């Protein structure tokens, strides 16, 4: 199921002119990118993580992961992990709590927002300091949240910073109206959903970088032969393949553990983030080296993936934080699954 879904998504995105849309997104012209997002909504991608009672699909987490991977594969601009995973997870917790009268605050619009996200009428983003100090792509989002400690607020975007990925902006998010207090667990969960989705994006971007490297190495000739015939190139790309291949099962296991609210969810999400980010970064470094000077230009589309990977590696918790969390969780006895 998730494989077929990914194939449909891949075909759609391959014909959607995503690289051009990403470049215009970088120039502040969001319309072509938002058109891609509307196509994604048409396929149900924006509804995957929204529960059915809020007009979403409540889909398998494997489908969500497959979709985010494909968005990373095509370097789709916009707040992917935020709007497709973290914001729906946070709002669903607030909406559930609100229906039980659980949150001191004004979470009353959560259900409405969830329906908007599912339909693709609304794009959401969020900041969760300290791990996620800025809201990504707030200028494309109709809903900006801020979760700090256990306090979840509607936020208004402040100072805008440029990301190393030109097709991504980072905005400070100033607390506005309080939606819920005492929601630390829900916020932590949302952070894990974001980290999971970001891991999937990284894995997809890594795959794209490997594919581009293989294409280039087969076409580019030096010393009278394709550069891909040189063993140094072969072995480097073999290592990239191995990294991506062994990151995938960690990603799928993390998705299932998180959806089941299992005792190993935190450990598994962190393991997936570490492996996917390392694999994607290895793919990026190899891709740049295999492409040579042409890869070091802004004109070449490779730059879209190279810089997105560089931006996402430290997002949603650094590699060091996630490694530390794996060991911490092992110490709680959740270690041997």
Partner 1 sequence: MTDAFRGEVRAWLAGHVPAEPLPSLDTAEGFERHRAWERELAAARLAVVSWPARYGGRDASLAEWLAFEEEYYAAAAPARVGQNGLFMLGPTLLAFGTAEQCDRILPRMSAADDIWAQAWSEPDAGSDLAAIRSRGVRAEGGWLLSGTKTWCSRAAFADRAFGLFRTDPGAERHRGLSYLLFGLRAPGVTVRPIRQLGGSTVRTGFAEIFLDEVFVPDADVVGAPGDGWRIAMSTASHERGLTLRSPGRFLAAAARLVELWRRDGPAGLRDRVADAWIGARAYQLHTQATAARLAAGGTLGPEASLGKVFWSELDVALHETALDLLGPWAEVHDGPDARWLDDYLFALAGPIYAGTNEIQRTLIAERLLGLPR
Residue 7 or 324 having the CB closest to partner 1: 324
- The one among 252, 262, 285, 311 contacting partner 1 by CB under 8 A: 252
Structural contact between residues 68 and 46, judged by C-beta atoms closer than 8 angstroms: no
- The one among 226, 262, 263, 314 contacting partner 1 by CB under 8 A: 226
Closest of 289, 302, 273 to residue 240, by C-alpha: 289
224 makes contact with partner 1 (CB under 8 A): no
274 makes contact with partner 1 (CB under 8 A): yes
- The one among 229, 262, 263, 300 contacting partner 1 by CB under 8 A: 229
Measured between alpha carbons, how far is 46 from 62 in angstroms, rounded to an integer?
Answer: 14
Cβ-Cβ contacts under 8 Å for 29 (sequence gap 6 or more): none
257 makes contact with partner 1 (CB under 8 A): no
Q: Least distance to partner 1 from the beta carbon of 75, Å?
A: 21
275 makes contact with partner 1 (CB under 8 A): yes
**Helix residue spans in the chain (DSSP H):** 2-14, 18-26, 31-42, 61-73, 80-81, 87-99, 110-119, 184-219, 231-259, 265-291, 302-312, 319-329
Contact string (CB under 8 A) for partner 1, positions 170-209, x = contact: ----------------------------------------
Q: Mark the segment that binds partner 1 (CB under 8 A) among 2-10, 43-51, 98-106, 228-236.
A: 228-236
Secondary element (H or E) of residue 177: strand 169-180
Closest of 71, 1, 64 to residue 37, by C-alpha: 71
Phi, psi (5° rounding) for residue 221?
-110, 135
Three-point CA angle 52, 55, 59, nearest 5°: 40
Closest of 188, 194, 207, 302 to residue 247, by C-alpha: 207
- The one among 7, 8, 242, 260 contacting partner 1 by CB under 8 A: 242
Q: Least distance to partner 1 from the beta carbon of 201, Å?
A: 19
Measured between alpha carbons, how far is 202 from 210 in angstroms, rounded to an integer?
Answer: 12
Residue 31 or 336 having the CB closest to partner 1: 336
- Pairing mode of beta strands 143-148, 124-127: parallel
- The one among 214, 263, 311, 334 contacting partner 1 by CB under 8 A: 214
Residues of this chain, 304-323, that bind partner 1 according to CB under 8 A:
319-320, 323
Q: Least distance to partner 1 from the beta carbon of 33, Å?
A: 31
Measured between alpha carbons, how far is 188 from 207 in angstroms, rounded to an integer?
Answer: 29
Instruction: Please count the residues of this chain forming the interface with partner 1, following the rule CB under 8 A.
Output: 39
Q: Least distance to partner 1 from the beta carbon of 37, Å?
A: 32
- The one among 235, 260, 297, 332 contacting partner 1 by CB under 8 A: 235
Closest of 302, 320, 315, 331 to residue 75, by C-alpha: 302
- The one among 101, 130, 331, 333 contacting partner 1 by CB under 8 A: 331
Measured between alpha carbons, how far is 80 from 41 in angstroms, rounded to an integer?
Answer: 12
87 makes contact with partner 1 (CB under 8 A): no
Residues that bind partner 1 (CB under 8 A): 210, 214, 217-218, 225-226, 228-229, 231, 233-235, 237-239, 241-242, 245-250, 252-253, 271, 274-275, 319-320, 323-324, 326-327, 330-331, 335-337
């Amino acid at each position: 199921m998730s494989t077929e879904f990914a194939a449909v998504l891949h075909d759609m995105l391959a014909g959607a002119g995503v690289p051009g849309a990403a470049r215009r997104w970088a120039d502040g012209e969001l319309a072509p990118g938002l058109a891609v997002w509307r196509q994604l909504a048409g396929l149900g991608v924006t509804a995957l993580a929204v529960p059915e009672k809020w007009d979403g699909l409540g889909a398998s987490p494997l489908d969500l992961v497959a979709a985010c991977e494909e968005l990373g594969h095509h370097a789709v601009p916009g707040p992917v992990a935020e709007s497709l995973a973290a914001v729906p997870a946070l709002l669903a917790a607030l909406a559930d709590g609100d229906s039980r009268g659980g949150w001191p605050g004004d979470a009353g619009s959560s259900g409405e927002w969830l329906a908007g996200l599912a339909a693709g009428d609304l794009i959401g983003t969020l900041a969760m300091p300290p791990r996620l100090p800025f809201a990504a792509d707030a200028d494309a989002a109709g809903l900006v949240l801020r979760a700090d400690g256990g306090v979840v607020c509607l936020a208004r975007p402040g100072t805008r910073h440029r990301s190393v990925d030109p097709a991504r902006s980072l905005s400070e998010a100033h607390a506005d109206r309080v939606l819920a207090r005492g929601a630390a667990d829900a916020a932590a969960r949302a952070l894990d959903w974001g980290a999971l989705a970001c891991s999937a994006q990284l894995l997809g971007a890594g795959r794209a970088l490997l594919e581009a490297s293989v294409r280039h190495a087969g076409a580019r000739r030096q010393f009278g032969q394709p550069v891909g015939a040189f063993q140094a190139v072969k072995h480097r790309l073999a290592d990239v393949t191995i990294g991506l291949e062994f990151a995938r099962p960690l990603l799928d296991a993390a998705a299932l553990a998180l959806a089941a609210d299992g005792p190993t969810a935190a450990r598994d999400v962190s393991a997936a983030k570490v492996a996917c980010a390392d694999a994607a970064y290895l793919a990026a470094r190899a891709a740049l080296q295999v492409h040579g000077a042409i890869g070091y230009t802004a004109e070449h589309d490779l730059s879209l993936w190279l810089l997105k990977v560089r931006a996402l590696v430290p997002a949603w918790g650094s590699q060091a934080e996630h490694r530390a969390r794996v060991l911490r969780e092992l110490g709680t006895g959740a270690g041997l699954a």
